[in-house]
Structure 1
Amino acid sequence: MTTRYATAQSTPHTQQVGEEISERVRFYDYHPTPADIRAEVLAGLAAPAKYLPPKLFYDERGSQLFDAITELSEYYPTRTEIGILRAHGAEMAERLGRGSVLIELGSGSSLKIQTLLAALEPRVYIPVDISREHLLKSARALATRFEDVRIRATCADYSRDFELPLDPDWRDLAAFFPGSSIGNFEPTEARRLLTRVANLIGDGGRLLIGVDLPKDPLILEAAYDDAQGVTAVFNRNLLTRINRELDGDLDPQAFAHQARFNAVHSRVGMHLVSRTDQQVRVAGEVFSFRQGESIHTENSYKYDLTDFQRLAREAGFTTEQVWTDPEQLFSVHCLRRMPIEPPV
């Protein structure tokens, strides 16, 4: 789960336009717009195999629901990753470099970043997230706890290009990409994303990234289809958002939540399955569903250590260190950007 993407560049103009939220917090809003959502939703619903971009999960309500999911007994990734960060935070801080500029790609669980900030003590923290209110709330809370850290909160759709508020003279850039969010991308897209991050942090820059490991399908499916039905509500909230922002008439209860593990592709797929034949209207367009037809809302790929290190290498990284939990459920990798060889 947890879909949060990244790529970035900066300009002197961008560095001057952040809104001052407090003495140490500035907010940069790149305005992910309803027009973008409209185009993507209409394209996805018109496709032969219907789909919706998983980044649309994360309106304010969706972010709240995901936080609730991370506390469920079935959802092992968050607590396992936090356990790894707590156990090895000092080693990770040494690898990333204390006093660096830390960019978090998809600022989700505050527990994760609090653990890393306490160990790393960066001079600047740049959280990037698509959910404006969730981002602001988190930035304010972190500023209260970490009084020596300047925060540049950046609201952006980082599945697309956007400008990151970096000062030209900053060095020692480090990035944090938690939650196995890399698994939400198709492998070719994941490689492109990692390449963008490599270009962002520059030669010698380091990326700390969480990666979920393959495991018993029963454990995986339970994590994405919990007994209390919180994940089902999270999945259907995407339809509620479409109704609100795109004048839709989708009935969330007319779609069943489904999560299945695909062993061939090593991924969990989430779907919303139409319970009946129906027609729906979104942004003035009409779409038909057959009973049993689904909207594909998310993939979550699971990588073993060898496969992920190969993917990272293809994107310009070398693996410096890997940490896992005792049960081998989850991994955290420290990657270093390799120097680009000059053309001969």
Structure 2
Amino acid sequence: MMDGFSDDPFRKDVLAGLSKPQKSLPSRWLYDARGSQLFDEITELPEYYPTRTELKILDANAADMANAVGTNAVIVEYGAGSLVKVRILLDALENAHAFVPVDISASHLKAAADELETDYPELLIQPIASDFMASNLGARLPEGDGRTVGFFPGSTIGNLSDAEINRFLTSVRADLGDNAAFIVGLDQPKPSDILVPAYDDAAGVTAAFNKNILARINRELGGSFNLDNFEHEARWNSEDSRIEMHLVSTADQTVNIAGESFSFTRGETIHTENSRKISRAAFSDMAAACGWRLEQTWTDENDYFAVMLLGAD
């Protein structure tokens, strides 16, 4: 019965991650259709400063970004989500040629792209349902007379390890080609009393977002998780400058998934996401090692968040 799952990357990641001494699940699997909807709700919460802060930066500096991008550009948004932020850039651009949103949730992507097509009828929109970490997207991008520009807002870059950031920046450089640009959002280091509530809100939306991956495992892999037996926890790891999201088992229990069994002791956790806070200087050095140079940086008045424009070196 489980043979049909054998080549499923979700199944492989779940079984491998839950077999580790520190159980873990890759954060990209949090974003199914329901997870994407819940994340959109998170961005509007009062505790969650990154989205509203970045939106202010984009609103205030879109004209400068558009001048740097130039005319007839092809915009490629990695991990596109609801496509709210890119509208600010598209409105400021002169004669943008095409927009390519890339997102792992096909249904969420289609709905957002359809809405964008209605509002921008002259813009060529070509969505790609794919993990943004996938390589070789370049062959699927439309050709234009202007600059090809990657767009990666939010703080998703902080979900990645150093090795993943290196792989991602190198892959994007190959995707976009020479004379490309890359606009990246970067959450900045700040006190934990600001950070922890942003990932553990009073309304419990982030908890629902985190626990949704267990419901997804139940639905797609025949899992037997009892969601009431797990609690959401956000931890500040000062040594690694990151917020960690965990699902904490509240009881000794055994869970069956795709024909395999996994035992949990009370207090044991599944590590589901990291959100690192990377300084501008550190990220600039990472980018330089992958063929990018820093062209411009925009921040808010509190230096909570930065938007960085990289150019292909």
In the superposition, the TM-score normalised over structure 2's length comes to: 0.94
| Counterpart position of 2:127 | 153
**Comparing 62-71 and 110-119, the one that deviates more:** 110-119
CA distance in 1, matches of 2:288, 2:55: 25
- Equivalence for 1:139: 113
For the structure 1 residues 200 and 171, does the alpha-carbon distance in structure 2 shift closer, same or farther, using more than 3 Å as the test?
Answer: farther
Mapped pair 1:99 → 2:72: yes
1:112 maps to what in 2? 85
Question: Which SS does the other structure have where 1:271 is aligned?
Answer: strand
Give the counterpart of 1:230 among 205, 210, 220: 205
Partners of 1:34 and 1:158 in 2: how far apart? 20
Q: Mean alpha-carbon deviation: is it higher for 153-162 or for 76-85?
A: 153-162
Q: Which one of 303, 308, 312 corresponds to residue 328 of structure 1?
A: 303
Which residue number in structure 2 is paired with residue 129 of structure 1?
103
SS in 1 for 2:8: helix
Can you give the 5+ residue segments of structure 2 that lack an aligned partner in the other structure? 1-5
- 2:36 aligned counterpart, secondary structure: helix
Aligned to 1:274: 249
Cα distance in 2, alignment partners of residues 179 and 294 from structure 1: 26
**1:49-75, Cα deviation, whole Å (9 max, x unpaired):** 110011111111101000000000000
Q: How does 1:1-344 map to 2 (within 5 A)?
A: 35-120=8-93, 121-161=95-135, 163-164=137-138, 165-167=140-142, 172-338=147-313
How many residues are treated as equivalent by the alignment? 306
Q: CA deviation at 1:171?
A: 5.4
Opposite residue 160 of structure 1, the aligned amino acid is: A
Deviation at 1:34, TM superposition (A): 7.5
Structure 2: distance between partners of 1:153 and 1:170: 20
Cα RMSD, aligned residues only: 1.5
Q: CA deviation digits over 1:225-247, x for unaligned, max 9?
A: 00111000000000000000000
Residue by residue over 1:140-171, the C-alpha shift from the partner in whole angstroms, topping out at 9 and shown as x without a partner, is 11111112111001101233335452246765
Q: What letter matches 1:155 in structure 2?
A: A
Rounded Cα–Cα distance in structure 2 between residues aligned with 1:78 and 1:158:
20
One-letter identity of the residue aligned with 1:82: L
User: What letter matches 2:21 in structure 1?
Assistant: P
TM-score of the aligned structures, taking structure 1 as reference length: 0.86
Displacement, 1:37? 0.6
Task: Indicate conservation of the 8 Å contact 1:318/1:335, yes or no.
Answer: yes
Residue identity (%): 47
Counterpart of 1:302 in structure 2: which amino acid?
A: K
200-209 vs 222-231, greater mean Cα deviation: 200-209
Deviation of 1:122 after TM superposition, in Å, equals 1.5
Structure 2 SS opposite 1:221: helix
Q: Deviations over 1:229-276 (max 9, x none)?
A: 100000000000000000000011111101111111111100001111
Native 8 Å contact 1:182 1:190 kept in 2: yes
Point out 4+ residue stretches in structure 1 off by more than 6 angstroms: none
For residue 244 of structure 1, what is the amino acid of its counterpart?
Answer: R
CA distance in 1, matches of 2:128, 2:41: 23
Whole-Å separation in 2 of the counterparts to 1:247 and 1:79: 38
Deviation by residue 1:26-52 (Cα, 9 ceiling, x = unmatched):
xxxxxxx98111111100011111100
Shift in alpha-carbon separation, 1:162–1:278, aligned structure 2, 3 A: farther
Letter aligned with residue 322 of structure 1: T
